[in-house]
Structure 1
Amino acid sequence: MYKSILSGAFHGMESFLVQVEADISDGLPCMDMIGYLSSEVKETRERVRVGIKNSGYQLPVKRITINLSPADVRKGGSAFDLPVALALLAASGQMDEAAKMADAARENEEARGTGEYLVLGEMGLDGTIKPVKGVFPILMHALDMGIGKCIVPIENREEAEAVDGMQVRAVSSLAEAVSVWTGRQNAGGSSDDRNAEEEKTENDKTVGSLVINRENKKDFADVCGQEMAKRAAEIAAAGFHNLLLVGPPGSGKSMIAERIPTIMPLMSREESIAVTKICSMAGKLQKGEGMVWQRPFLQPHHTITAQALVGGGNTPMPGIVTLAHRGVLFLDELPEFGREKLDLLRQPVEDKKVQIIRARYACTYPSDFLLAGAMNPCPCGYYPDLHKCNCTDQERERYQKRVSGALLNRLDICAEVGRIEWGQLQKQGNESSAVISKRVQKAINRQKIRYGMDNKFNADLSNEETILYCGMNAGAERILERTYTKYQLNPRSLFRIRRLARTIADLAESDEIKEVHVSEAIALNKGLWHA
């Protein structure tokens, strides 16, 4: 007997539907699985065999063939356990009369394009259903293909319910999944049968998730002094500009960088969907979390591998640069990462994407992030204080060359973070993140109106758009021309200064870029010119 059940998978950033086909026929007892499978999918055979037995069902002593179609796409993960188990039970005739009635009703619904379930879930040896990766992007794709119902693990319920228009049935065991499939009951975790204490309007859910995701105890009010560096962080957040902080140990570089997310706006819905897809594929969604609204903040250690940084592997998975998409990637002690790994950031920083090409696959991941770096001016960290610094000129030069000029040329802001004086430490009433955030939001609102988009910042402008939107008055143009000629800047630096000046003007609520704006932009960009 033959039975087919719909499931799904993802490869890189692309999701696709998978038809799980089961056929049971007379012959030598065996269970074969085919369809270009990875090792974890091949292990489905044993998990399903034991899980079916321990759930009170029987696996027929016949020839069993499982096919996952399309057969020309490699399939990975453990999400096929549940659809394979349901297909086997249906093909072996172990669904009761209610299943036949439900199948008949489902066939009528499928004729109208509304009735077929998409099934995802890993199964334990005792028949329990465990969470899987990639539920959100798979269901988004299924909805686009006209599939409106799904059966998922109960731990993935919030993630699945974040897909508007998807009817979700969440199950915790194979027995529950069978009951849902046969139409005998809704699962306890379904979107149609919620507990009274969990009942909320869709608006309440959204507001609640915003409040939870915005919880951050770090605040710019904790940072004493360092007004120039805080100003640089404000400009970076307002225009999504890349930032480098340079200063001695203990001066507050990391404190400032870690507080940048507290002054950035919440993501637009389009940005949130993109980030949620990435987190779902990487298995980074927190328990009970649906949509991700807060911008990511990632701070990898300098011992990170190149593959973990940009992504890849036998089965393609996103790296840190992709997990930081539309958020902040903070690299503390920048030179310690090594020139080879830092140069891998050149394409993501410039093109806002990273291409992973291997012998068996090629995929492209988004990587549009704000890069924040922090470094000491020399190996000991105290230059130019010659009373403390004991580094030679050659040592300082070798240290700074660990960060290539090609990467530095792709940054927008370089701010010095100096030693904090005693009086600054005693100062009370430092400006809070809430106050700075209001100025940043006003600047971003101006950008939304100017570009007609919710998720386009000044740093995202192309060269043509920079010429169109970053017009200066005559005095500002003369200052920029003199600087370009005197310091022999390259065109990339010129356009970055223009975009930076546009952000400074937005913070000043000025439609025109004036002399004071371009002068500040030049001062903030000047520390990168030696590259």
Structure 2
Amino acid sequence: MLTKVYGSAVFGVEATTITVEVNIDKGIGYHLVGLPDNAIKESNFRIAAALQNNGYKIPGKKITLNMAPADMRKEGSAYDLTLAIGILVASGQIKAENLEEVLIMGELSLDGSLQPIRGALPIAIKAQEDGFKKFFLPIQNAKEAAIVKDLEIYGLENIAQLIDHFEKGTELERFVVDTREEFKNSLQNPDFDFADVKGQESIKRCMEIAAAGGHNIILIGPPGAGKTMLAKRLPSILPPMTLREALETTKIHSVTGRMREHVGLIAQRPFRSPHHTISDVALVGGGAYPQPGEISLAHNGVLFLDELPEFKRTVLEVMRQPLEDREVTISRAKFTVTYPSSFMLVASMNPSPGGYFNDPDAPVVSSPAEMQRYLGKVSGPLLDRIDIHIEVTPVPFDKLSDERPAENSESIRKRVAKARDIQTERFKESSTHYNAQMHVKQIRKYCALEESSKDLLKTAMERLNLSARAYDRILKVARTIADLEGAANISGMHISEAIQYRSLDREGWLG
């Protein structure tokens, strides 16, 4: 007897429907075809034990299972439940109607209980697009999948519930989620607040500018100056995520299996801080079966690279293209996947190997050659892609002991949101969302300068020997500073402030 059941495979952050054909005939054997990986090939042992422990069995006949399309590689253990139901129906042990309207996914334990799967949200989105009416999956993933409207979601704890539903008509509880209400409830106050930061007013100003325009920023300062503390608080002044951004971010985390149990939406901007020993594949994504890397997990949020020169140069260089294109493409011989990676890069570094460059009281003094080697670990093209370079100095004792409350993140976020609203209106006819994303034509259109401002920028370019990319970065930052002030045009004052935020371009940093 031939039976067809349906599952789904995830490639990148999108899903593809998989048809599982089960044919049982005379003879003996178990043949699973359609380019399954080892986890799927081992499924027959899990299925046999799960069925045995629930009063059913794999028939002692010739069983052929084909996962179509047969030329597409499938991976993971999420097809266990799909295969098991196909075998039961094809062997006549249970009856199931309208299987063409149903999507089934889940990993089986030996006792028949179900383990969570990866990619429930993109699978549910694809199922709805392909006209499926019901989606049966582990209960841990039900809330995540129920975000999709017009698709009935049923969370299962074990295979027996699904068998009883098909065989005896037992009613299952449908998971229903109000997406907008879920999004609203997921919005929380950030854990870190700028009110905790004493002093560092100039750095807070830089952070505000970076958040308002979506600019990448690097903090340069000695150990203990507060670089990491400041970076952790940047998400607290970014505008709240939109529902569209929350869905994009949730899809990526769903694909990697990083969704917390019974969590429907990720509504907080991600903050990712990988260790400097990370590999290039772990950072940008890839592998034999490509998975999103840290830069994609930071999509719509912040990627913090602490001690930037300690990262392997190859790791940093592969990040150059995603910084420009806001997406990363992983190519293999038989397929290509693209992951979104629109993030704010926040990097930090010491000004020298010893960490105390130009400090007369420094315990360690680095030679010019050591300085050159240390700063040379970060390439010029990568630094050019970072809009703001700012020095962070240690906070003096009188400011540390100051009991007066500092400005909190909520106040700063209001100004940032106002500047972002200006940018949204400016770019409403394009795919650009904020100033850091402007391309050359938009820079020429929205960053026009008066003659006096041009002369000021020309002088700075010549003295600091800035590249053409650095020129564009200065204009973008100046545009954001003007937006924060509500100014329609960029003035010389805005240009002057933007030029100050190119510390690594100044003479003296390279020995």
TM range (shorter): over 0.9
- State whether residues 161 and 191 of structure 1, in contact with CA within 8 Å, keep that contact through their aligned partners in structure 2: yes
Equivalence for 1:53: 52
**Residue 399 of structure 1 aligns to which amino acid in structure 2?**
Y
- What is the Cα deviation at residue 163 of structure 1? 1.5
AA aligned to 2:30 is M
Instruction: Specify the SS of the correspondent of 1:146.
Output: coil
> Is the contact made by 1:17 and 1:142 (CA closer than 8 Å) also made in structure 2?
yes
The answer for the alignment partner of 2:415 in structure 1 is: 439
How many Å separate the matches in 1 of 2:185 and 2:241? 15
Q: 1:438 to 1:91 in 2, by over 3 A?
A: same
Match of 2:165 in 1: 180
After TM superposition, list the pairs within 5 Å mapping 1:114-263 onto structure 2: 116-182=101-167, 184-188=169-173, 190-191=174-175, 203-210=180-187, 214-263=188-237
Structure 2 stretches lacking a partner, 5+ long: none
Amino acid at match of 1:186: E
C-alpha displacement of 1:325:
1.2
| Conserved? CA contact 2:137–2:155, under 8 Å | yes
User: Which residue pairs with 2:379 in the alignment?
Assistant: 404
- Aligned CA RMSD, in angstroms, stands at 1.9
Contact 2:182 2:264 in 1 (8 A): no
TM-score (norm 2): 0.95
Distance 2:223 2:497 in 1: 26
Counterpart CA distance in 1 for 2:63 and 2:400 is 74
Q: TM-score, normalised by structure 1?
A: 0.91
2:390, 2:503 within 8 Å by CA — same for their partners in 1?
no
**1-structure distance, mates of 2:316, 2:506:** 18
Q: Deviations over 1:420-457 (max 9, x none)?
A: 11111122211111111111111111111111279711
Structure 2 counterpart of 1:404, one-letter code: S
Letter in 2 for 1:74: R
Sort the Cα spacing of 1:338 and 1:60 in 2 relative to 1 into closer, same or farther, 3 A: closer
1:82 aligns with 2:81: yes
Partner of 2:29: 30
Q: Which residue of 2 aligns with 1:196?
A: none
Matched, 1:524 2:501: yes
Q: Which amino acid aligns with 2:438?
A: L
CA contact (8 A) 2:2 2:21 kept: yes
Give the whole-Å Cα distance in 2 for the aligned partners of 1:376 and 1:505: 30
- Deviation of 1:122 after TM superposition, in Å, equals 0.5
Match of 2:307 in 1: 333
Residue 63 of structure 1 corresponds to 62
Amino acid at match of 1:410: R
CA distance in 2, matches of 1:221, 1:463: 37
What is the SS of the residue equivalent to 1:82?
helix
2:466 to 489, 502, 516: 489
Per-residue displacement from partner, 1:83-113 (whole Å, max 9, x unpaired)? 11111111111125xx4xxx2xx38xx6xxx
Any idea what SS the aligned residue of 1:398 has? Answer: helix
Give deviations 1:213-272, integer Å, cap 9, x for gaps.
Answer: x34321111111111111111111111100000001001000000100011112222222
Residue in 1 aligned with 2:400? Answer: 425
- Where 1:65 maps in the other structure, the secondary structure is strand
The equivalent of 1:195 in structure 2 is none
Q: Please say if residues 321 and 329 of structure 1, whose CA atoms lie closer than 8 Å, have aligned partners that are also in contact.
A: yes
Q: What is the alpha-carbon distance in structure 2 between the residues aligned to residue 482 and residue 507 of structure 1?
A: 25
Q: Separation in 1 of the partners of 2:426 and 2:79?
A: 47
3-state SS of 1:286 partner: coil
Question: Which residue among 242, 246, 252 is the counterpart of 1:272?
Answer: 246
Residue 416 (str. 1) matches residue 401 (str. 2):
no
Identity, in percent, stands at 40
**Would you say the 8 A contact 2:156–2:162 is kept in 1?**
yes
Cα distance between partner residues in 2 of 1:148 and 1:525: 56
Q: Give the secondary structure class of the aligned counterpart of 1:349.
A: helix
Gaps of 5+ in 1: 111-115, 193-199
Other-structure match for 1:113: none
The 8 Å contact of residues 321 and 367 in structure 1, kept in 2 or not, is answered as yes
Distance 1:151 1:134 in 2: 14
Larger displacement relative to structure 2 (448-457 or 389-398): 448-457
Question: Matched residues in 2 for 1:511 and 1:165: separation?
Answer: 45
Partner Cα separation in structure 1 for residue 171 and residue 115 of structure 2: 18
Q: Of residues 282, 288, 312 in structure 1, which corresponds to 2:262? A: 288
Within 2, Cα distance between the matches of 1:143 and 1:204? Answer: 21
* Shift in CA distance, 509/182, structure 1 to aligned 2, threshold 3 Å: farther
Alignment-mate amino acid for residue 237 of structure 1: A
